[in-house]
């Protein structure tokens, strides 16, 4: 990295640090030095409670130092290879343990660039004890741990709270004692065993809820504090990874959330995280309590059938003017097959009620290329959008985002076939042609076919991914190109 490049990295890092508020004392230095890497944007990492929890737990251990790494600090700045830590600018290659937090399979693609920048072999068996110990965890690892099994020394497909402290304790006390680490529940040491045993231990979310111990003004919640209010989901949607990997569902009680708020008295703005927030058993009381405390609520998508007048009042008081709802498809047949039923009449009545209560924008999520989807299923989706538009006053806006179905491991639809490129293009073309007739108050967004195909590939690829990344890392080194914008995606 040139001096100019490093200076740019450091000045952006300083600006971002100035916008952070810290609620835990985290040590940078220790006998064992750990780096926690979020292989994507700083803003996403600082919104990710898995990444933040690892940073908080490891940073609170005696004798352990930890620093954060982000390969990209800002979306509009060139990607910076993570040569230097966010905290102190220490070179990444200096650390004893590198912990990667992968939320999305697409982030696996950052591996070749990062490893090439460090001059570190991608394949674990080619590394020696002069290299750091590499750990991978996060939702994407829970989804497809096999893909990383020849690259990482330790894989954590389970929950960080019950695993990361025992792993780091063992590394600190005994070094990389594979047998001892493999004894920890929910931890996989691929060089000892070719298969991963499913999770046995589950974190008690009421004993210690996940939250943002560092609040960044650049996080995806507009600079709000973030707390996880439920892990897992009680529903049974056939395609859903969150339901599969965070089972059994566990709600953080209202009482625990109140205690947390008492301990964070300056919190006036709060992002609520859960795969399905409105399935929290005390959701109405939760919204009421936050409104009474004058706390602004930030949430992601809503479950239309759970929206009550109390919730509407809380959302309006939080200045929320737009809501996101996920019908997934307009086809009743497909909704039944995906085990996400919806009474269309009641749904439309609720949309009407939301517009009547002053909400200005309704965004709907749909999935295209579902297993067995026909033109008449797609037509039913367009029909549903048209019905929503008929209800919407002309000065309100309605939008739809179409993603592409990707079968994920561990879900009921794991064995379904991912759509081919031509199918995605054909289905998208058909949807676009049908949407053309809709009025200007409607906008649609589509996932790129290439991104969907890449995600489908990375969701299912096995240990052979290591060879592909090793080849790509070699190219990166030869061409001195280290960031995702600079090297082309793998051929597949």
Q: Candidates 7-15, 74-82, 230-238, 352-360 — which segment interacts with ligand SF4 by CB under 6 A? A: 230-238
Rounded least distance, CB 403 to ligand SF4, Å? 12
Q: Is 490 exposed, middle or buried (0-12, 13-18, 19+ CB in 10 A)?
A: middle
Check residue 235 for interaction with ligand SF4 (CB under 6 A).
yes
275 versus 407: smaller Cβ distance to ligand SF4: 275
Among 346, 385, 393, 369, CA closest to 449:
369
Q: Helix or strand or coil: residue 327?
A: strand
Check residue 407 for interaction with ligand SF4 (CB under 6 A).
no
Task: State in Å, rounded, how far the first CA of the chain is from the last one.
Answer: 31
Q: In the stretch 93-132, what mask flags binding to ligand SF4 with x, by CB under 6 A? A: ----------------------------------------
Q: Could you tell me if 328 and 340 are in contact, meaning their C-beta atoms sit under 8 angstroms apart?
A: yes
211 versus 278: smaller Cβ distance to ligand SF4: 278
- Report DSSP letters for 444-488, one per residue: EEE--HHHHHHHHHHHH--TTHHHHHHHHHHHHHHHT--STTTSP
Q: Candidates 2-10, 61-69, 180-188, 232-240 — which segment interacts with ligand SF4 by CB under 6 A? A: 232-240
Please pick, from the candidates 26, 139, 233, 362, the single residue that binds ligand SF4 as defined by CB under 6 A: 233
Q: Candidates 136-144, 239-247, 355-363, 464-472 — which segment interacts with ligand SF4 by CB under 6 A? A: 239-247
134 versus 323: smaller Cβ distance to ligand SF4: 323
**Integer Cα distance of 492 and 489 in angstroms:** 9
233 versus 481: smaller Cβ distance to ligand SF4: 233
Q: Helix or strand or coil: residue 442?
A: strand
Check residue 240 for interaction with ligand SF4 (CB under 6 A).
yes
Check residue 242 for interaction with ligand SF4 (CB under 6 A).
yes
Check residue 230 for interaction with ligand SF4 (CB under 6 A).
no
Helix ranges, 357-420 (H): 375-391
Check residue 367 for interaction with ligand SF4 (CB under 6 A).
no
Rounded least distance, CB 129 to ligand SF4, Å? 42
Q: Could you tell me if 451 and 106 are in contact, meaning their C-beta atoms sit under 8 angstroms apart?
A: yes
326 versus 388: smaller Cβ distance to ligand SF4: 326
Q: Is the peptide bond before 248 cis (omega within 30 degrees of 0)?
A: yes
Please pick, from the candidates 110, 213, 243, 280, the single residue that binds ligand SF4 as defined by CB under 6 A: 243
Residue 6 is classified by DSSP as: H
Check residue 276 for interaction with ligand SF4 (CB under 6 A).
yes
Among 70, 86, 8, CA closest to 37:
70
Check residue 237 for interaction with ligand SF4 (CB under 6 A).
yes
**Integer Cα distance of 218 and 244 in angstroms:** 30
Q: In the stretch 328-357, what mask flags binding to ligand SF4 with x, by CB under 6 A? A: ------------x-----------------
- The pair of structure tokens assigned to 187 is 């931890």
**Integer Cα distance of 151 and 470 in angstroms:** 9
Q: Candidates 114-122, 178-186, 240-248, 282-290 — which segment interacts with ligand SF4 by CB under 6 A? A: 240-248
**Integer Cα distance of 136 and 134 in angstroms:** 7
Check residue 312 for interaction with ligand SF4 (CB under 6 A).
no
Check residue 275 for interaction with ligand SF4 (CB under 6 A).
yes
Q: In the stretch 410-449, what mask flags binding to ligand SF4 with x, by CB under 6 A? A: ----------------------------------------
189 versus 283: smaller Cβ distance to ligand SF4: 283
Q: Which residues pair with 216 in a beta bridge?
A: 20
Helix ranges, 81-186 (H): 111-118, 139-143, 164-174, 178-182
Q: Could you tell me if 350 and 305 are in contact, meaning their C-beta atoms sit under 8 angstroms apart?
A: yes
How would you classify the pairing of strands 133-137 and 154-156? parallel
Check residue 168 for interaction with ligand SF4 (CB under 6 A).
no
117 versus 369: smaller Cβ distance to ligand SF4: 369
Positions in the binding site for ligand SF4 (CB under 6 A): 233, 235, 237, 240, 242-243, 275-276, 340
């Amino acid at each position: 990295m040139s001096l100019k490049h490093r200076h740019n990295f450091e000045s952006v890092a300083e600006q971002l640090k100035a916008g952070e508020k810290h609620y835990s004392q985290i040590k940078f230095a220790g006998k064992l030095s750990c780096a926690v890497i979020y292989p994507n944007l700083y803003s996403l990492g600082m919104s990710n409670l898995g990444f933040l929890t690892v940073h908080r737990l490891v940073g609170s251990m005696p004798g352990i130092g930890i620093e954060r790494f982000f390969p990209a600090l800002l979306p509009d700045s060139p990607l910076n290879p993570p040569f230097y830590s966010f905290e102190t600018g220490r070179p990444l290659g200096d650390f004893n343990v590198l912990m990667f937090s992968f939320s999305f399979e697409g982030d696996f693609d950052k591996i070749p660039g990062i490893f090439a920048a460090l001059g570190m072999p991608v394949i674990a068996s080619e590394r020696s004890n002069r290299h750091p110990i590499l750990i991978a965890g996060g939702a994407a690892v829970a989804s497809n741990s096999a893909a990383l099994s020849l690259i990482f020394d330790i894989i954590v497909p389970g929950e960080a709270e019950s695993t990361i402290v025992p792993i780091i304790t063992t590394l600190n006390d005994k070094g990389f004692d594979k047998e001892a680490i493999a004894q920890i529940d929910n931890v996989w040491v691929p060089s000892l065993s070719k298969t991963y045993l499913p999770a046995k231990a589950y974190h008690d979310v009421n004993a210690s809820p996940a939250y943002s111990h560092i609040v960044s003004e650049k996080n995806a919640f507009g600079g709000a504090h973030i707390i996880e209010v439920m892990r897992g989901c009680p529903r049974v949607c056939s395609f859903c990874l969150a339901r599969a990997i965070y089972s059994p569902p566990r709600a953080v009680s209202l009482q625990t959330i109140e205690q947390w708020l008492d301990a964070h008295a300056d919190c006036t703005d709060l992002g609520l995280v859960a795969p399905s927030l409105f399935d929290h058993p005390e959701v109405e009381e939760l919204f009421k309590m936050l409104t009474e405390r004058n706390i602004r609520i930030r949430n992601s998508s809503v479950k239309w059938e759970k929206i009550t007048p109390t919730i509407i009042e809380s959302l309006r008081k939080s200045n929320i003017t737009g809501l996101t709802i996920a019908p997934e498809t307009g086809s009743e047949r497909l909704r039944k097959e995906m085990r996400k039923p919806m009474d269309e009449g009641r749904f439309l009545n609720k949309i009407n009620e939301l517009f009547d209560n002053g909400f200005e924008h309704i965004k709907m999520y749909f999935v295209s290329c579902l297993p067995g989807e026909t033109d008449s299923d797609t037509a039913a989706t367009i029909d549903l959008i048209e019905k929503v538009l008929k209800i919407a006053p002309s000065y309100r806006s309605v939008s739809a985002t179409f993603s592409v179905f990707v079968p994920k491991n561990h879900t009921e639809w794991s064995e379904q076939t991912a759509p081919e490129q031509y199918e995605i293009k054909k289905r998208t073309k058909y949807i676009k042609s049908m949407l053309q007739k809709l009025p200007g108050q409607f906008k649609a967004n589509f996932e790129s076919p290439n991104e969907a195909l890449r995600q489908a590939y990375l969701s299912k690829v096995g240990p052979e991914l290591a060879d592909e990344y090793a080849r790509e890392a070699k190219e990166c080194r030869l061409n001195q190109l280290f960031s995702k914008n600079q090297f082309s995606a793998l051929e597949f």
